[in-house]
Every structure is written in C-alpha cells, then in structure tokens.
A and B are shown apart, each in its own frame.
Chain A
Amino acid sequence: MTEQYEETEERKSTYAPFIIGAGLALLFFGLVVFVPLAIGGGAVVAAGLFMLFRDSVEEKFADLKETVGEKWPVDFLSKRKLGVWVFLMSEILIFGSLIVGYIFVRFSSGSWPVATQVHNVTLGMTNTIILLTSSLAIVFALVSIRSGNTRGLKIGLLGTFALGAAFLIIKLGFEWPAYYRNGFTISSGLPGSTYFVLTGLHAAHVAGGLVAVGYLIARTYQGGFTKDNHAAIENIGLYWHFVDIVWMFLFPLFYLI
C-alpha cells in the first residue's frame, strides 16, 4: 500500500452521515414529545448536511475503485447510483405505507369532506405543473452537462431551485395558512391529520431536495462538473424526480377525489 493510497483513505472519512442520522432521530422524537427538541434536531441535521457538502465541495472525498465483488443483479451500476436506488426503495416504502394508510382510513370512514370544498384545486394544479417543470429543468441540466454545456447546467439547476422554492412558498405560505384560517387544521380529525402529515412529509422532502440542488449549484460555480464527471447531477436528479412522482399521487388523492 503506497503512502498516496493511505492519505486518500484518510481523506474520504466523515462523521457527517452519523450526525445527520442522529439529528433526524432527535427531530422526529422531538416532534412527538417536545417541539423545541425537534428544532434542535433540525439544526443538527442542517449542520451535518453543511459538513457533508462542504467537504464534498472541497473535494475531500476520493472515489476509490470498489473492491466489493458481488452486486448481482445490478452489477452494472456504480455503488453511488445503487445507493440512490436503494434509498429510493426505502422512500417508496415510507410514502407507499402512508398513502395506503390514507386510502384505508378514507374508505373505511363513514363520512369525509368533499375534496373540492376543502382544498384549493387551482393551487394544487399550479404546484403540480411547477414540480413537473422543475423535473424538466433538472433534466435540462443533465442533458447540458453531458454535452459539456456548463451554461445550460447552471440555468437548469437555478431553474430547478427556483421552481422547488416556488412550490414550497405556495404550499406553506399561501395554501396552509388559508386552510388554518378556514378551520381546517392538523387537529381536524382524520381528514386534517392525513392531509398535513402526508403533504408535510412531502414538503420536507422538497426542502431536502432544495439543499441538495443548492449543493449542486455551489459545486457547479466552482467548476466541479464536466462532460465526463457529473454523476452527482444524475443521482440527485433521480431523487428530485421521485419527489415529483409522490406528488403525482398526493394531488389527485387529496384535491380531486
């Protein structure tokens, strides 16, 4: 083993994933027992993400050739892309379970408010189109960098960020406050709790996606991506499209039927 290899091994270590995990545990524990604890958990998550992205922007991680042998039946995938898809599998299970739970309580309840009388279909449809357009924007970023077009990459990523932020502003700045003013809150029985838990969890995922896209933007402006080195754009794009897919089900389930 050469000295160079040892140095690379040391440089790729980070405590950030552990810190993010501990922060998330604190965040959800706090949401159940004591909200200020959740705020502290959120701060720990933010610090962990900052650490991770700072180290990555400063290129402290090395992409060593993997030595683990068996990945059948997906041995054609890089370990990072495989990691993203396994993560997305866990996300399908989280959202899928909640959506099945919602459908279960919805159709086993004697009465349920008419969707269009509670929810604002226009805002819901606007947000759907905004998310679809943000997916197109991140595809534009990927297509651009694959042909070496860094200007297109910047436009695509900035567009994705702006549209993701617009989604959250409409959802949290206009839609939720209007519902609260009309008396439809998280305490409004099953219709309220299912709506705010599911759309809240989705909004948290959009916010997480914005952090990741923010990292891509910072990395882009430092010249971190090239025609041959842009795996992070594709991998974070996979996550962003997944968040889009979840909304494709939440919109009709809550706003239309």
Chain B
Amino acid sequence: MPTMKFYLGIWAGLVAATVMEVVTRSIPGAFAAISVIILLISSGKAVTIAMYFQHLRYENKSLALLPIAAVIGIIFLAIAAWMSM
C-alpha cells in the first residue's frame, strides 16, 4: 500500500480538479463544450478515487470487472434513453 504522502498528493490533485471545474464554468464559451469539459474532469476524479482510494490499481485486475459490468449496464440504459428522445 502506498504511503500517506502519496495519498495526500492524490487528495491535492482532486481538490485542484474541483477548483478547475468551477473555474471552467465561468469561462465564456459554448454551453455544450464547457459541460463536456466539466464532466470529463468529474469522470477523471471518479476514476482516480476508484483507482487509488479504493485501491483498484493495486488489486487483481479481475476485480474491476464488477464495477465495469455495472457501468456497462448504465451505458446501455443511457443509449436506450437517447434513442427514445
């Protein structure tokens, strides 16, 4: 397991990404483009938390199949919702 100093670095990165999201919101530009950038940053934060705080990075790779299977289910739901619009 990594050291506390390493985790502190991950936390600082996540806080910086949060500030970046708020700053991105105030940049003038197309709403869709700004929204996509913000959601990409959020997704990066979520993956970082799963990889390091939930230490998936250091587990057997098969474990990732469980959350990935659920996320694939949600992607199918999103596609179904999009197709019905």
Instruction: Identify the A interface with B (CB < 8 A).
Output: 73-74, 76-77, 85-86, 88-90, 92-93, 96-97, 100-101, 103-104, 107-108, 116, 121, 125, 128-129, 132-133, 135-136, 139-140, 142-143, 146, 237-238, 241-242, 244-245, 248-249, 251-253, 256-257
Contact = CB atoms under 8 A, between A and B. Distances in A.
A43 to B, nearest CB: 31
A252 B21 contact: yes
A97 B74 CA distance: 6
Interface of B: 1, 3-4, 7-8, 11, 14-15, 18-19, 21-22, 24-25, 31, 34-35, 38-39, 41-42, 45-46, 49-50, 53-54, 60, 62-63, 65-67, 69-71, 73-74, 77-78, 81-82, 85
Chain A interface SS verdict (over half): helix
Contact of A97 (B19, B21, B77): B77
Contacts of A136: 7-8, 11, 53
Contacts of A143: 1, 3-4, 7
Q: Which of A96, A101, A116 has the most CB of B within 10 A?
A: A96
A100 B74 contact: yes
A206 to B, nearest CB: 15
Contacts of B39: 249, 252-253, 257
23 contacts: A73-B62, A74-B63, A76-B60, A76-B62, A88-B67, A88-B70, A89-B70, A93-B73, A100-B74, A104-B81, A104-B85, A108-B85, A116-B25, A129-B18, A132-B14, A136-B8, A139-B7, A143-B1, A248-B46, A249-B42, A252-B21, A252-B42, A256-B22
Nearest to B39: A252
B65 A125 contact: no
Contacts of A121: 22, 25
A133 B71 contact: no
B63 to A, nearest CB: 6
A252 B17 CA distance: 12
B15 A129 contact: yes
Given A248-B49, A257-B34, A92 B71 contact: yes
A108 to B, nearest CB: 5
Given A96-B71, A96-B73, A85 B85 contact: no
A143 B42 CA distance: 26
B78 to A, nearest CB: 5
B1 to A, nearest CB: 6
Closest 4 CB pairs of A and B: A96-B74, A92-B70, A73-B62, A89-B70
Contacts of A90: 70
B7 A140 contact: yes
Contacts of B67: 85, 88-89, 92
